[in-house]
Amino acid sequence: MTDRWQTNTSLEAIAGWLRQQRRVVVLTHSKPDGDAIGSTMAIVRAVNQIRPSKDTPAAEAWYFGPMPPFAEKVIRDTPARNFQQQSHPGGEPDAIVIVDTGSWSQLEQVREWLGPRIARAVVIDHHRHGDPDSAERRVVSPEASAACQIVADLCRLVLQRASMRDLPVDVAEACYLGIATDTGWFRHSNTTADVLRVAADLLDAGVNAAELYRVVEQTDREARIRLLGRALTGMQVFDNGRFALLSLTRQDFSDVRAEQGDAGGFADYAQTIETVRVVAMFTESEPDERGRPVTKVSLRSKDTEGGVDVNQVARQFGGGGHIRAAGARIQAPIDEARRLVLEALRNAR
Ligand SMILES: [Mn+2]
């Protein structure tokens, strides 16, 4: 299937078609990130710009699953709906645009609804793989750093502007959001000359990059930083610093009044240690229904010598994920879970 995951239309054709549609729904993967929110917002704003109707907007975004903490501040009054796990979307749009994914696994909640409507659906994506039957037409550019890099050009065409520098500032801001977050604010290896040129055009269009950074990245709760302090204070390293183990007990969470969701991304801090190749983050969970202890482990590996396939390790404990990022729930007290996982990491390749 994946060999058919290729562009079969043009941005010009999609832009021309979008300009003629009365009602447009823009979808993205569940648990949307900065690129998903940015690319949906940019298209919704661009389409509504050409047909401004206060009562019934021409375009709206549909989101599924939990939203990142900055979502409300970047979406503001742009038409958007958020469907939680079970609810089904309704309505009959003339056009459906799917951005930053084309995989059914990431469109689970909308699959049943979307299935019979793929003839009026287009995908704009920058991932290497996807399901060709998620939309009849698609523009797939794996060389693009972010879906927003492609979407910026699409919005330029929809709005019939000569340059991305001429985009309305709210459209440019949404595009910049996705580009900045998908490149790690222009640090990751996908920071290409092309994406920097697009970002430069968006700044010329009036984007306030420093303000966007503050709104998106500087959102931590005090409890989360205190919890991070606990995790780092208790960090242990093994095998000449190759493995770093972090642990948080339920007591840690309650002491600093933190919630389970506050511990996300802690592995990144341990990964900044030069010698560290693999980080295992252990979180003591609620006991299971029979009262047995449960420990959640989240594994991160660097893609360099000494790194391991953490997906394989997680699978040994009934979990899984990706080669460099995976996790599992282990039915054991936290100390035993640490011992078992360390042993598995030492035996892994
Ligand atoms: Mn993306």
Instruction: Map residue 181 onto helix, strand or coil.
Output: helix
Distance separating alpha carbons of residues 266 and 213, to the nearest angstrom: 20
> Cα of 183 to ligand 1 centre, how many Å?
9
What pLDDT score does 325 carry?
Answer: 85
* Amino acid found at 266: F
> Cα of 289 to ligand 1 centre, how many Å?
38
What pLDDT score does 128 carry?
Answer: 85
> Cα of 32 to ligand 1 centre, how many Å?
9
Q: CA 3, 182, 296 angle in degrees (round to 5)?
A: 90
Please give the structure tokens belonging to residue 181.
């977050």
Distance separating alpha carbons of residues 55 and 52, to the nearest angstrom: 9
Distance separating alpha carbons of residues 332 and 222, to the nearest angstrom: 30
Q: What pairing do the DSSP bridges indicate for beta strands 278-284 and 295-301?
A: antiparallel
Domain with CATH 3.10.310.30 in the chain: 223-347
What pLDDT score does 2 carry?
Answer: 46
Judge whether 104 and 84 are in contact, CB under 8 Å.
no
> Cα of 64 to ligand 1 centre, how many Å?
16
Using 70 as the pLDDT threshold, list the residues of the chain that sit under it. Answer: 1-3, 53-55, 85-89
Distance separating alpha carbons of residues 244 and 105, to the nearest angstrom: 32
Query: How many C-beta atoms lie closer than 10 Å to residue 249's C-beta?
Result: 15
Pick the CATH number of 223-347 from 3.10.310.30, 3.40.718.10, 3.40.640.10, 3.30.420.40: 3.10.310.30
What pLDDT score does 98 carry?
Answer: 97
Judge whether 155 and 43 are in contact, CB under 8 Å.
yes
Domain with CATH 3.90.1640.10 in the chain: 2-217
> Cα of 80 to ligand 1 centre, how many Å?
19
What pLDDT score does 55 carry?
Answer: 66
Distance separating alpha carbons of residues 255 and 248, to the nearest angstrom: 11
Nearest to 230 by CA among 249, 203, 211, 208: 249
> Cα of 120 to ligand 1 centre, how many Å?
23
Distance separating alpha carbons of residues 61 and 82, to the nearest angstrom: 8
> Cα of 36 to ligand 1 centre, how many Å?
6
> Cα of 100 to ligand 1 centre, how many Å?
5
> Cα of 146 to ligand 1 centre, how many Å?
5
> Cα of 192 to ligand 1 centre, how many Å?
15
Q: Torsion-angle region of residue 163: left (phi > 0), alpha (psi -120 to 50) or beta?
A: beta
Nearest to 46 by CA among 148, 146, 171, 153: 171
SS3 content of the chain, % helix, strand, coil (to 5): 45, 15, 40
**Can you name the CATH fold of 2-217?**
inorganic pyrophosphatase (n-terminal core) (3.90.1640)
pTM above 0.85, yes or no: no
> Cα of 308 to ligand 1 centre, how many Å?
25
In which residue are the tokens 């903490």 written? 69
Distance separating alpha carbons of residues 245 and 229, to the nearest angstrom: 14
> Cα of 263 to ligand 1 centre, how many Å?
23
> Cα of 63 to ligand 1 centre, how many Å?
15
